Chains A and B, each alone.
Chain A
Amino acid sequence: MATVAEPLPVSPRRRKARAEAMTVGNLVLAHVWVGIAAFAVACILGVWQMWARSPLEAPANTAANYFRSVTLHGVSMAFVLTTFFIMGFGYFTSEAALRRPLPGLRFAWAAFWMGLIGVLMAALSVISGNASVLYTFYPPMTATVWFYIGLVLVVVGSWIWCLIMIVAMRQWKAANPGQPVPLAMFATVANAIMWLWTTAGVAIELLFQVIPAALGLNGMVDVGLSRTLFSWTLHAIVYFWLFPSYIAFYTMFPRAAGGRLYSDTMGRLAFILFLLYSLPVGLHHLFMDPEHSNGFKFIQMFLTALVSVPTLLTIFTITASAEVAGRMRGGTGTFGWIRALPWDRPMVLATGLAFVMLFFGGGGGLINMSYGMNAMVHNTSWVTAHFHLIFGGTVVIMYFAIAYAMWPRLTGRAYPSLKPLRTQLWLWFAGMMIMTLPWHYTGLQGQWRRVAAFDYSNPMIAAWGPWVIVSLLGGIMLAVSALMFVYNLAMLHRRGASAANSGPFHFAIAVHPPERIPASLNGFGLWNILVAVLMLVAYGYPIAQFFIDPPPQAVVHRLS
């Protein structure tokens, strides 16, 4: 695995062993395990944070510990779990869907180690108390520079992944001229391209504003500009996390359900729409900010409404695919096909539960994006509830299902029983609902976000107490479910190799598999141009205004 440097001559046998260890399978396992390790730690921290905010006495409850914990929770969930899982799943998809060796395997391992070093740098910065700035940074506060450099290494590693995905698709197209790229890979590359666009905002913020400030090279920072650059990243990053779930809906669920994908074309269209409309919408995170005019807030609100379109299309196509499967399995009548679905399979169960959480989380999201109405919920627990339902719920439950689907192929073992998997998924779903529904309520009552402790002697705050305790119970269920997930995967991994599942992985096929499709649905050239135009319209002036008429800057506040 030592790809970065090979200082000593290595015996041929060890070299052979190393080459064998460098398989794509191990690459995927390494990525997913790093993601899961961060996830498990973050779940435990999350429970403690809810305990600290509740009327119950929590151990080690100081503000310093709380914000350290929140930062680690956010960074682990938002940057580590997601990035490593998505990279691992992308490598898996590339090999399984294209049936070709992965290009640049050594670069992929180099990116993995670079990302892992970055994660450790960032984690140590946070644990040592020198980076309690949460995962959204908040300049003019700055953490130790090692925190930012660590995160930059993770992002640069993910850029290498993006290039490998793009090259893999190119090579396949060159070898299969005129053939439609398999949908799973098409979607993975859509995500890779979107991620390159997405990270541009935060990369500029870090390289030109935050890191120089953390190094002491500049004492002032334009906060409006930094918030705007971060908003560029802040919404599309959510769709980066979401993509694997939608890839599973379209290319794994229909097969697991025993049927076929209703429409391959609609899948391509949905992924293209995500690429287009995830990016020029970030200003909706700044609705309550003074520095942008209502005109540009309105434009981006309008574009945000359009990003609901691919989700609504997906709900129809996947429900239709489920109906196809249900009827193929003998289900009849208007709703009889629902009962005929194989709910005992983790992928089918997870998709069903993900849709329920998407209903609540998406509905809350529509309220968040509603322009002036955002004032009702901005920076309250309502928002925390919304993104835990969408990300922690819909997205993460599909990560579980994807990992469960990949594991037998990667480890060469079959599950002795699917029951522990189903129990884990149900527990996650129940925990997420019990945790987030009270948060919605207290959010509407005005419970604000990001505080270490509430003063429950205040009668108004005291009324929230019971709801906070209910949500804590949901959180405990989530942590138990997270540990069960780790256990389920570790048990299968530990049992050692067996040849039971060494066949190739199959993605779902469509009712009418595409034979020839227009170039626009088989590549991203046109769509990249459209993204550029939309970004220019949405972000051109909102960024330019900081240079046309520079606002007063804020004094940098170094935390370390």
Chain B
Amino acid sequence: MAEASLLYLVDAATGEGVEGELRDAIEDAQIVDWQTKWQPALIAVLQELDRRGVPVAQWPQSWHWDWRKKTAAVQGLLAFRGFSVVAAGVTQGLAQVDLTKSAREASQAGKPLVYVDYLEVAPWNRPDLGQPVRLRGVGTALLSAAVALSEEEGFKGRIGLHSLPQADRFYRDRCGMTDLGPDATYQGLRYFEITPDQARAFLKDEE
């Protein structure tokens, strides 16, 4: 049974706080939301981009996956440790983590970390799709959960992840993560890590 923590997100339209749950699992309900709500929302955006004649090269991200592959992979998330953010009765973000990887950053090399294998927010919370964002804070909450899990596991808050190109700036500038550069073994995505010091600053209890 998943454990839930109370969290607050920001309604982008009003600036008000919105109550939600940070759950330490991905369950059937999240997969159903992904298939019945996320997928149609993203397809609608893609069709609109196509209709407006926007060249594929200018679409929000690199479009390598086909839907069948992605659907199968998302269904596979049920078998791994993950996190989900639920608000307004709908899944707002998902993350899957791997606890078997080691740190690469020079001062931490070889030490265990929580590797964020997958982190995605619902299409209506993405600012890169040309539509108003509904909720802010979903990605940060999932990242916070990964750092907290790392502390709980005795990994001192160390986490690692391969960033999507549009997210590089967020991890580097807003989260203070160490940018270890493009990873040729991972389709050139940049690899970032949080060290124990950075993790302490990231999860600092109150400002």
Is B a genuine binding partner of A?
no
Report which A residues bind B (CB closer than 8 A): none
